[in-house]
Chains A and B, each alone.
Chain A
Amino acid sequence: QVQLVQSGAEVKKPGASVRVSCKTSGYTFTDFYLHWVRQAPGQGLEWMGRINPNSGDTKYAQTFQGRVTMTSDTSISTAYMELSSLRHDDTAVYFCARERPPVATNSWGQGTLVTVSS
């Protein structure tokens, strides 16, 4: 079955960068886009962007342009999301999710808590 397993929790200082990984299994990695969504404590869901693992093509939400980089390693079926210049309000749970057209995203990782604290 389709599985998305994310890396563990991170604690970072303001100004640092964080990279979260999303290891996939149970399907052909290059056949489906992967999206990243975050959720600040007690807040709603925020779409960050997506990557086409086959081509490396990315599309980012305007809010994160210039600070986020999404990449993938097809040899290990893993996607990455790197967020730079971290601020306190980047503290959130970050999710990866697989898109299956026309269904939107129906397979999600378990989430990775990133805490930004001085």
Chain B
Amino acid sequence: DIQMTQSPSTLSASVGDRVNITCRASQSISKWLAWYQQKPGKAPKLLIYKASNLEIGVPSSFSGSGSGTEFTLTISSLQPGDFATYYCQHYNNYSPWTFGQGTRVEIK
């Protein structure tokens, strides 16, 4: 199975900061990568699909980039509602889907 590795595991930041979260795949996954935000007690919320496409209704402060094995989620200006845990996910029809281990974004 394809392994997804996120870094960092925890990130301390302030409101207004620019934040980058990295996700690496154990083999090339082209652009078959999604990013989710999860808050405590809630289901994950899709932010980005196919590596760089913003899901409907998601603020433009979120963006995704990358292809192959290295991907980045960027929050251009952190807002109070953005403090949460973020997961990358590999998905396609040919192999089992897998999640990264998560990145917790906390208030500095």
Name A's B-contacting residues (CB within 8 A): 35, 37, 44-47, 49-50, 59, 61-62, 95, 97, 99, 102-106, 108-111
Chain B hits for A59, CB < 8 A: 96
Using A44-B100, A47-B98 as known contacts, list a sample of 9 further A-B pairs with CB atoms less than 8 Å apart, ordered by residue number in A: A44-B102, A62-B1, A102-B50, A103-B53, A104-B89, A104-B91, A105-B91, A106-B46, A108-B45
In Å, the complex CA distance between A59 and B98 comes to 13
Name 10 A/B residue pairs within 8 A (Cβ), A-sorted.
Answer: A35-B97, A37-B99, A44-B102, A45-B99, A47-B97, A62-B1, A97-B43, A104-B34, A104-B46, A108-B43
Interface residues of B in 55-88 (CB under 8 A from A): 55, 87
Chain B hits for A104, CB < 8 A: 34, 46, 49, 89, 91
Chain B hits for A49, CB < 8 A: 96
Asked if B44 CB lies within 8 Å of chain A CBs, one says: yes
Asked if B101 CB lies within 8 Å of chain A CBs, one says: yes
Q: How many residues of B contact A (CB 8 A)?
A: 22
With CB as the reference atom, state the residue of chain A lying closest to B47.
A106
In Å, the complex CA distance between A95 and B53 comes to 24
Q: Is the interface of A mostly helix, strand, loop or mixed?
A: strand
Chain A hits for B38, CB < 8 A: 45
In Å, the complex CA distance between A44 and B6 comes to 12
In Å, the complex CA distance between A67 and B98 comes to 19
Chain B hits for A46, CB < 8 A: 99
Chain B hits for A102, CB < 8 A: 49-50
Chain B hits for A61, CB < 8 A: 1, 96
Is A45 touching B96 in the complex (CB atoms < 8 A)?
no
In Å, the complex CA distance between A45 and B37 comes to 11
Known: A44-B87, A45-B87. A106 touches B55 (CB 8 A): yes
Chain A hits for B55, CB < 8 A: 103, 106
Q: Which of A45, A62, A99 contacts B44 (CB 8 A)?
A: A45
With CB as the reference atom, state the residue of chain A lying closest to B93.
A101
In Å, the complex CA distance between A24 and B19 comes to 36
With CB as the reference atom, state the residue of chain A lying closest to B46.
A106
